[in-house]
Amino acid sequence: MLRPDVREAAENADAAVLRPEDPSQLDHADRARIALRVALVNETPSYADSVAVGLDDAEVVRDVERWDELPEATQALLAHCEQVALDPADAGAEEIAELRHHFSPAQVVTATQVAAYASFRVRLESGLRLVADAGDGPASQPRLTIEAGAAADGFALSTPEQAFPSMRWVSRVVPGGEFVETLKLDAGVLSAQTLLREAIMTGHGALDRADRELAALATSLINGCGYCTAVHGKRQVELSGDPLTAVVLAEAGPAAIADERLRAVVDVAGALSYTPAALGAADIRRLHAVGLDADDVHDLVAVGSMFAWDNRLIMTLGNAVRS
């Protein structure tokens, strides 16, 4: 079970994203359509069924071959949000410009928030269900490790400052806009999202904060989010006092992490990054085998899920460059 503060913040975020009091930027039906598509491409039928309740055209949305029955704008919206869910690294400026033919900047932000939030939700629900049902049995095994401290190509590792440089973010939606300025186009969701992230990352939880940052780094590396990689790699080094592990992960990959506990944290966060189906009960049992209890694992699942949301926003709505 999630910590009470995280659970409350997640419930508030769900309402802000899918059932806002003022749905003028994007109506409730469009939000449900987006969440439905994200659930389907992530093979999460239980969440798909829950968001499809009351949606008149749910069966059309489920079947891509019937999308021509939908208005052109709705088709563009669903295509964009499916891209955000499946491959945010390729959802770039051209895709945003195409969406702008049909929607305002605020609507683009809201639609992307819904897709990114649904990406969070399917991972959270699937991960928590696995923790509850993991039971007894064999644990998953890591791949063969290589010597920690040696980059995969044989060259010396960078310093943390080199590996995690300062980055700035340039909006594709608001010309010249910063990240928060862009997300303020849907201030209600931004507020709920911020409170949820703070609860997950800095709240009083079971999992050590440095380990939460390591999970955020692992997720961001898998998703290809350079901005979050820099921010959370640097923060992991600061919180842990360990100048090596985060850099090893970023430059040599998970197989270079010799510590079994940290390696398991990284591997599970990485598996959840790809799709909820990539994480299995054996992975949860592996976490238990290296010393994490159920509360630790709940925190870890929440972190991995949160950065499925954050990474997608940062990668889709703008572009990160070195400061």
Examine the pLDDT at 245 and tell me if it is beyond 80.
yes
pLDDT band at residue 149 using 50, 70 and 90 as cut-offs: very low
State the pLDDT at residue 94: 86
- Beta strands per DSSP E along the chain: 167-171, 318-322
CA distances from 108 to 73, 151, 289 (A): 12, 40, 44
The Cα 35–Cα 18 span in angstroms is 8
Q: What is the DSSP letter of 204?
A: S
Structure tokens at 315: 């990668």
Residues facing 321 on adjacent strands: 168
For residue range 270-312, what is the model confidence (pLDDT) as tens digits? 999 998 989 999 999 999 999 999 999 999 999 999 999 999 9
Examine the pLDDT at 95 and tell me if it is beyond 90.
no
Residues 6+ apart with CB under 8 A from 207: 292, 295, 296, 299, 300, 303
pTM, rounded to two decimals? 0.93
Examine the pLDDT at 142 and tell me if it is beyond 80.
no
Structure tokens at 23: 């749905």
For residue range 123-137, what is the model confidence (pLDDT) as tens digits? 999 999 999 998 777
What value does the mean pLDDT take over residues 242-255?
95
For residue range 211-233, what is the model confidence (pLDDT) as tens digits? 999 999 999 999 999 999 999 99
The Cα 224–Cα 81 span in angstroms is 18
pLDDT band at residue 144 using 50, 70 and 90 as cut-offs: very low
State the pLDDT at residue 146: 40
Q: Which of 231, 208, 209 is nearest to 220 (CA)?
A: 231
Task: Using a pLDDT cut of 90, give the percent of the chain over it.
Answer: 86
For residue range 50-67, what is the model confidence (pLDDT) as tens digits? 999 989 999 999 998 999
> What are the residue ranges spanned by the domains of the chain?
1-323
- The mean of the pLDDT values for the chain is 93
Residue with tokens 């979050």: 228
Residues 6+ apart with CB under 8 A from 167: 226, 227, 230, 231, 320, 321, 322, 323
What value does the mean pLDDT take over residues 144-173?
76
The Cα 62–Cα 48 span in angstroms is 9
Q: Burial of 319 by CB count in 10 Å (0-12 exposed, 13-18 middle, 19+ buried)?
A: middle
